[in-house]
A and B are shown apart, each in its own frame.
Chain A
């Protein structure tokens, strides 16, 4: 399962780009709308689905049951402090849930990103993620797999 974007709903606001922990939600270069650039790396955390103010992001079901009409959709209402879920089963049964939002404001807790420096272009383009390696409680260089050790015939 992975996320996908309804293009007519998306207005390219960038909230999903901002929140995706896998950094796989990006902006399409032709139509400037959000797109999941690497569905294989999506772990269905639903962060982008919940963050989208236009309900433009949905999660694609597995091929064996998705055609039977299941759906899991979410509506986040900040003013009310609620997040509602609608689960539609493949036999047509539906269940609605409402929970309080427990999200904390950006950077107020750990890690305190609001106090950190803004990354420069080189840091943004590097393979190292923001705040690494210190964010992983180490000052050592992070281990990497050299490209020449990859199996022959497999391209990355």
Chain B
């Protein structure tokens, strides 16, 4: 199952052009949803206005080299390792979900565009990446949703309470989970049985909810957060620091050892 390209098998009943059109439609939905979100919330307008205002209190002018170095460091460290979540379970769950999703989407796109016809031979690495990505997404997403959600963890809400903020994470989990189940059932070669087709439909519906619900869900945070991290680090480097005080001139380990505890004291 893990080295089988599920889209290649699917091409026996669905033409590759239909799959490719679906992929392009999903990308278009993300772009449209994000643009409407930006226009409605005016967050990008605010973001640039704020960055311009902050620049006035800058104490030094950053050269292109310094700017590129700060951005590269932010991409590699802050964004690549989701450093803002600190050390702990939330960061591991987020990294699992983030890299799982990237691998899942990337391999889906490659397999649908390049190896979707039944006559093409798919290098076994792509189906493996697709399945591993889906498993990572399900693991990270479920860990987050069942145990680490802040409304459950810090606000003592029951785990089964579903709110609008869950739309993104639940759609992400179900897309990967239904994709995995569909791939497994399809690999069993059940001939004309209904099982794999039901999960194929669920997989398609989850994709539509995930990519079609960008305006209502937290989907676009994956575009906003990197931008905010870059702006934050540029503000630290040019001395404006968003009006924050400079770091204290004290030895690194000088405190009473009072560590911030997990926010679970409800």
Contact = CB atoms under 8 A, between A and B. Distances in A.
Interface stretch (A10-18, A38-46, A140-148): A10-18
A113 B154 contact: no
Given A8-B228, A18-B265, A27-B151, A78 B244 contact: no
A114 to B, nearest CB: 9
Interface in B239-266: 242-256, 258-261, 263-266
B250 A81 contact: yes
Given A74-B245, A113-B265, A80 B254 contact: yes
A81 B255 CA distance: 3
B156 A104 contact: no
Given A101-B255, A119-B266, A14 B150 contact: yes
B248 A77 contact: yes
Interface string B208-224: 00000000001001001
B47 interface: yes
A54 B259 CA distance: 16
A108 B228 CA distance: 37
B131 to A, nearest CB: 29
Interface stretch (B83-91, B95-103, B118-126): B83-91
A54 B84 contact: yes
Interface string A1-44: 00000011101111101110000001111111000000000000
A32 B260 contact: no
A11 B246 contact: no
A60 interface: no
Given A32-B150, A104-B258, A80 B250 contact: yes
Interface SS, A side: loop
A111 to B, nearest CB: 11
B65 interface: no
Interface stretch (B5-13, B22-30, B157-165, B199-207): B157-165
Contact of A105 (B163, B165, B258): B258
A11 to B, nearest CB: 5
Contacts of B149: 32
B197 interface: no
Taking residues whose C-beta sits less than 8 angstroms from the other chain, chain B's interface range is: 35 or more
B153 interface: yes
A51 B85 contact: no
Contact of A14 (B154, B225, B242, B252): B154
A107 to B, nearest CB: 8
Nearest to A88: B243
B61 interface: no
B257 to A, nearest CB: 8
B183 to A, nearest CB: 30
Given A106-B261, A119-B266, A28 B248 contact: no
B245 A73 contact: yes
Contact of A17 (B150, B224, B252): B150
Interface in B138-170: 149-151, 153-156, 158, 163-165
The 3 A-B residue pairs with the shortest CB-CB distance, nearest first, are: A81-B255, A14-B154, A18-B263
Given A8-B227, A77-B248, 9 more contacts: A8-B47, A13-B150, A31-B165, A32-B150, A71-B243, A79-B252, A81-B250, A97-B245, A130-B266
Interface of B: 43, 47, 84-86, 90, 149-151, 153-156, 158, 163-165, 218, 221, 224-225, 227-228, 232, 242-256, 258-261, 263-266
